Chains A and B, each alone.
Chain A
């Protein structure tokens, strides 16, 4: 096969995918005024997303905070500066680790489930059935899922941040000999030092998680709605949803950090 033609075809396919996702996001935003018709589905989806992802998120966040404190503490101990451990753990969790962990777990659990559910509906003609009943699938299927994740991702991120910082405090006290009071005072000071009502570290992290939630839901819905070819197509849709969500989480996380800490 001609490598140039293959590359052109790949670029065309990826551009078409990206265009579809952007179009879907736009159409979902335009469907927002009809959200009050979908409150039951919204609550069902939010509950499912929260319940499904909560245990894994909390376990991973606790260990991530512990690992962060352990690795940083080992180096800080060499310089006799373990007093700032609370600061470093709190800032890392709120700015980056909390939203990232929550996003990746939601992509793997809820995003994959959305892609499988909508993919199965697509290949079994249920999406076409909605169309022929004059029911907009964006309004009926996509909107409640996007809003549910837009709400649940920041909510889970807050819990993930708290549990991560707590996980770090256990390691700080047990393995590095940092007094709990010192750890928590330095953590709270780090998060409130900006002097704003909502500390910058917190709102930037929450903004990231909001963007991640919307992205995961939209990318997963897009993958499901474009599934074709039976069970194999549904499997590919799930794979596409998780892969694209994780890539976008990392890229968008970088862009938001860069914007708030280097540009703004």
Chain B
């Protein structure tokens, strides 16, 4: 479970998070929405320990992330996957090498087993045909799917998705949404998804929270938020949103 309690964060001369509190129970996809600049991606970076809160508590499975030293953080990150907006693939490695990178670096598996795992996970995201291609030769949607394969290869308990459909056409977006839901259902992965997309929230999410001024403005199940009359919920989930 991810527990965020009264977290504040100032970056430069701006207060990004101003007392954010939320809970992400195990096995659910929690969708975090909100206007640009309200701290959605900053929240994800706190959860994985790239940022530390100026004030407040952040715990994953009861462990205080802010108090972790480097080696404890590395252990935590081995249990997490992170899908960046554009996949964030390393440009000089092939798709397969990118996907294999987390396991190869930590030397956990013999080569044959590593190749098998890479093949399995690329097949799961529908990218097994592009294993040898370079990231610069594939489309945005393929980069995202390769990024997701890389996030999943360590068999994480949590996956953090940072705008998984940004800049994608509706067909590719739909495929990514199905993939995120499938990951939750088949691998029992807990997801924290940052998005602006109503379709993404309704198709992948179990619960939705909408940020406003650096804190949670409204939160509930997908049905509750869709039916809510709260202005934020209407703006992001009402008719005509997306």
Contacts and interface: CB of A to CB of B under 8 A. Distances in A.
B85 A133 contact: no
A177 B111 CA distance: 67
Contacts of A129: 82, 84, 88-90
A133 B105 contact: yes
A141 to B, nearest CB: 10
Given A124-B86, A125-B84, A132 B101 contact: no
B50 A134 contact: no
Interface in B53-88: 73-75, 77-78, 80, 82, 84-86, 88
B85 A125 contact: yes
B105 A135 contact: yes
A132 B77 contact: yes
A36 to B, nearest CB: 13
Interface residues of B, number: 22
Interface of B is mostly: mixed
Interface in A123-138: 124-126, 128-135
Interface string A83-123: 00000000000000000000000000000000000000100
Contacts of B91: 121, 126
Contacts of B73: 134
A149 B34 CA distance: 46
Contact of A124 (B77, B80, B88, B106): B88
Contacts of B106: 134
Interface in B14-29: none
A134 B50 CA distance: 11
B82 A132 contact: yes
Interface of A: 121, 124-126, 128-135, 140
Given A131-B77, A132-B77, 12 more contacts: A126-B89, A128-B50, A128-B88, A129-B82, A129-B90, A130-B90, A132-B82, A133-B77, A134-B73, A134-B105, A134-B106, A135-B102
